[in-house]
C-alpha cells in the first residue's frame, strides 16, 4: 500500500545534485527502554550495576516450562507514553512471537507486538528554523508504539577463542515508537529525536539516555525528486546519538543521490553508521532479511483494560513541553525561542519557574538562559548540579530590583555564587557591595571626576553625548557601587545640560 504524502515540499530542504534538486525522506523506529524496576515478563531487576548474568530469572534464560507474566507497570508506562504522543490507545492488543535465531536470544524468538500494538497513530510537534531563521512547526506522525523484549548481549572480546553471553538485558521492556516518513532533513530528524527524548523524560516513562543505550534509533532514509513518489529506502540501524543521527542522514542521502545520478538504483538494505568515518556501510540486503514468522504468543493473553484505566492515567500526566511552552509565553511574556530553551528540560523549566515566581518573567528567563545555563555549559554541569539554587538566584534579582545593588554588581555577586556558593544577601553584606545612593557620596565622586578632567568637562557642556564617558568614570571611581541613574542626574546638573 503506498504511504500517504503528508507534506508539501519546502524549498529549504532541497539538496542540490549535479542533475537537479533532491528531497530526502526519513522515518524512524526508536527503541526506548521502559522505566520500570522489573523486566517485561519477569521479576528480574533492570538496573545494570551488577556482574554479567546477575539479573537473569529462569524466564529470561528461557528455561523449559517457564511462562511469561506481564508486568503491569510496563503496560502503564506504554499507555502514558501513548497519551503523551497524543496517540490512539488500543484497549485490546496482542503479543506476538518474532522468530529468529541468535545466541543472545535464548527463547529463539522475541516477544513483541505485530499487527495489534498497544498504541496507534499519534503526533510529535517539532520546531526547526526556517529559511529566515524563524521557528517553523513540523507535525510528525507517529505510526504506532508497541512493547517488546530486549535481547541479551554477546561478548566477543573476553577470551581469544570463546564468546560469552550476558543476559542481563534479556527481557528488559522496550517501547518501539515508529514514525511516519514525515521528516525531510537531517535537522528535522535531530529535532524529532530531541523532542521525543524530552517527552519521554517529562513523562518519566524512559530515562531516554542515548549514551547509556536506553534510547536508540533505526533511521530509514530515501531520496526522490520533489513531487515524485517515495524512493526505495535504506535503514540505518542502532544510531545512538542525536549528532550521529544528523550525520547518518546527510551521508546516506548523498550516497543515494550519487548512485541515482549515476544511473543506478537503490537496493533496499540495512546499513550501519560508522561515527569514526562519518559514513554508512551495508550490513545486510533485503534478500538476507529474516522471515520472522510472527504469530500470537500462546503463553500470553491479549492485553485488555477499560477506558477508566486510560482516563486515570491521562489525568495523572504532567504538563508536557508543548503546553508548558505556550503557558510560558502567555504567563511570563517570554519569546517562543526563550520558552523553547527553558522547556527542553523539565528540571530547567522548574528552575526557571522557581526564579520567575512573583518576579519579572523576562528578567528571570534572561538570567537563567544567558547567565546560569551559559555558566553551567562552560563547566559541563547539569541544572541539577547548579551551585546556585533557584531561590538564591531569585534573591539576587530582588537585590538588584530594589536598588540594593547595581546590575553590574549583580553579575559580580552571581560569579561569586557560582564559584563559592552562598546567599547573595550575605555576599553583598560581607563584601560591602551595596549600591551608593547617598547623594552626598555621589556628589563627592562626581566633583572629583569633573575636577580631574576639567578640559573634557568644558567640552561636555557643548557635547552632552560625552556624559556617558563621565558616568563610566564615576562608576569606576565607586567600584561599580554608585547608582548609575543618580550619577547621570548629578552630572547633568553639574554640567548644566539636559
Is residue 103 within 8 A of residue 78, CB to CB? The reply is no
Region near ligand ADP per CB under 6 A, out of 24-32, 114-122, 365-373, 481-489: 24-32
Closer residue to ligand ADP, CB minimum distance, 169 or 233? 233
- Closest distance of CB 253 from ligand ADP, Å: 11
Check binding of 29 to ligand ADP (CB under 6 A): yes
- Closest distance of CB 345 from ligand ADP, Å: 26
- How far is the C-alpha of 128 from the C-alpha of 126, rounded, in Å? 7
3-state SS assignment for residue 125: strand
Is residue 305 within 8 A of residue 83, CB to CB? The reply is no
- Closest distance of CB 248 from ligand ADP, Å: 13
Closer residue to ligand ADP, CB minimum distance, 290 or 314? 290
Among 33, 107, 112, 179, binds ligand ADP (CB under 6 A): 179
Sheet of strand 95-99: strand arrangement: 109-113, 95-99, 295-296
- Closest distance of CB 123 from ligand ADP, Å: 14
Nearest residue by C-beta to ligand ADP? 27
- Closest distance of CB 197 from ligand ADP, Å: 17
- How far is the C-alpha of 57 from the C-alpha of 78, rounded, in Å? 23
Closer residue to ligand ADP, CB minimum distance, 3 or 58? 3
Among 36, 220, 256, 392, binds ligand ADP (CB under 6 A): 220
Nearest residue to 154 via CA among 142, 140, 144, 167: 167
Among 152, 181, 246, 424, binds ligand ADP (CB under 6 A): 181
Nearest residue to 423 via CA among 385, 388, 475: 388
* Phi, psi of 152, rounded to the nearest 5 degrees: -80, -160
Q: Bridge-partner residues for 221, per DSSP?
A: 26, 234
Closer residue to ligand ADP, CB minimum distance, 192 or 332? 192
- Closest distance of CB 184 from ligand ADP, Å: 10
Number of residues near ligand ADP (by CB under 6 A): 16
Among 22, 27, 95, 249, binds ligand ADP (CB under 6 A): 27
Check binding of 28 to ligand ADP (CB under 6 A): yes
Three cell numbers written together for 137: 512547526
Closer residue to ligand ADP, CB minimum distance, 3 or 430? 3
Q: How far apart are the first and last CA of the chain?
A: 77
For residue 161, the 8-state DSSP code is S
Nearest residue to 203 via CA among 339, 35, 75: 35
Check binding of 343 to ligand ADP (CB under 6 A): no
388-427 mask for ligand ADP (x: CB under 6 A)? ----------------------------------------
Among 22, 23, 25, 413, binds ligand ADP (CB under 6 A): 25
Nearest residue to 218 via CA among 31, 411, 18: 31
Q: Where are the alpha helices (DSSP H) in 390-466?
A: 390-401, 407-420, 424-431, 439-452, 454-462
Closer residue to ligand ADP, CB minimum distance, 26 or 341? 26
- Closest distance of CB 141 from ligand ADP, Å: 8
Q: Parallel, antiparallel, or unpaired for β 122-129 and 109-113?
A: unpaired
Q: Bridge-partner residues for 273, per DSSP?
A: 280
Site for ligand ADP in 221-240 (CB under 6 A): 221-222, 230-231, 233
Cβ neighbours, 10 Å, residue 132: 8
Closer residue to ligand ADP, CB minimum distance, 6 or 335? 6
Three cell numbers written together for 178: 515508529
Residues that bind ligand ADP (CB under 6 A): 3, 25-29, 178-181, 220-222, 230-231, 233
Amino acid at each position: 500500500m503506498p504511504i500517504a504524502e503528508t507534506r508539501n515540499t519546502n524549498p529549504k530542504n532541497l539538496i542540490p545534485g549535479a542533475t537537479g534538486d533532491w528531497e530526502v525522506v526519513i522515518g524512524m523506529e526508536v527503541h526506548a527502554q521502559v522505566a520500570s524496576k522489573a523486566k517485561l515478563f519477569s521479576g528480574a531487576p533492570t538496573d545494570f550495576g551488577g556482574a554479567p548474568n546477575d539479573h537473569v530469572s529462569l524466564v529470561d534464560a528461557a528455561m523449559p516450562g517457564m511462562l511469561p507474566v506481564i508486568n503491569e507497570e510496563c503496560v502503564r508506562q506504554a499507555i502514558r507514553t501513548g497519551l503523551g504522543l497524543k496517540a490512539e490507545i488500543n484497549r485490546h492488543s496482542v503479543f506476538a512471537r518474532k522468530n529468529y535465531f541468535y545466541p543472545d536470544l535464548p527463547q529463539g524468538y522475541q516477544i513483541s507486538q505485530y499487527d495489534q500494538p498497544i498504541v496507534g497513530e499519534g503526533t510529535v510537534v517539532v520546531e526547526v528554523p526556517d529559511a529566515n531563521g524563524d521557528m517553523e512547526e513540523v507535525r510528525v506522525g507517529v505510526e504506532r508504539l508497541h512493547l517488546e523484549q530486549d535481547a541479551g548481549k554477546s561478548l566477543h572480546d573476553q577470551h581469544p577463542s570463546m564468546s560469552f553471553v550476558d543476559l542481563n538485558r534479556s527481557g528488559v521492556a522496550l517501547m518501539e515508537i515508529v514514525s511516519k516518513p514525515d521528516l525531510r532533513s537531517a535537522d528535522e530528524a535531530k529535532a524529532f529525536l530531541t523532542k521525543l527524548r524530552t517527552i519521554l523524560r517529562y513523562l518519566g516513562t524512559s530515562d531516554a539516555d542515548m549514551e547509556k543505550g536506553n534510547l536508540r534509533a533505526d533511521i530509514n532514509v530515501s531520496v526522490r525528486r520533489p513531487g515524485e513518489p517515495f524512493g526505495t529506502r535504506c535503514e540505518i540501524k542502532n544510531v545512538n546519538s542525536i549528532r550521529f543521527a544528523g550525520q547518518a542522514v546527510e551521508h546516506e542521502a548523498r550516497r543515494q543521490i550519487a548512485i541515482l545520478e549515476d544511473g543506478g538504483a537503490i537496493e533496499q538494505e540495512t546499513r550501519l553508521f560508522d561515527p569514526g568515518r562519518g559514513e554508512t556501510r551495508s550490513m545486510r540486503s533485503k534478500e538476507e532479511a529474516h522471515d520472522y514468522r510472527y504469530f500470537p504468543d500462546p503463553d500470553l493473553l491479549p492485553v485488555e483494560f477499560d477506558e477508566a484505566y486510560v482516563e486515570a492515567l491521562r489525568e495523572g500526566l504532567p504538563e508536557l513541553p508543548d503546553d508548558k511552552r505556550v503557558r510560558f509565553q502567555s504567563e511570563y511574556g517570554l519569546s517562543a525561542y526563550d520558552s523553547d530553551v527553558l522547556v527542553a528540560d523539565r528540571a530547567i523549566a522548574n528552575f526557571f519557574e522557581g526564579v520567575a515566581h512573583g518576579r519579572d518573567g523576562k528578567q528571570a528567563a534572561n538570567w537563567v538562559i544567558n547567565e546560569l545555563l551559559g555558566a553551567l555549559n562552560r563547566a559541563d554541569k547539569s541544572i541539577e548540579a547548579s551551585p546556585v539554587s533557584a531561590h538564591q538566584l531569585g534573591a539576587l534579582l530582588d537585590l538588584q530590583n530594589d536598588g540594593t545593588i547595581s546590575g553590574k554588581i549583580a553579575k559580580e555577586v552571581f560569579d561569586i555564587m557560582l564559584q563559592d556558593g552562598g546567599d547573595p544577601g550575605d555576599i553583598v553584606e560581607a563584601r560591602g557591595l551595596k549600591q551608593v545612593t547617598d547623594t552626598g557620596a555621589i556628589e563627592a565622586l562626581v566633583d572629583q571626576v569633573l575636577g580631574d578632567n576639567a578640559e573634557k568637562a568644558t567640552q561636555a557642556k557643548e557635547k552632552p553625548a560625552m556624559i556617558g564617558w563621565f558616568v563610566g568614570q564615576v562608576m569606576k571611581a565607586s567600584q561599580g557601587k554608585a547608582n548609575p541613574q543618580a550619577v547621570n542626574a548629578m552630572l547633568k546638573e553639574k554640567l548644566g545640560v539636559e
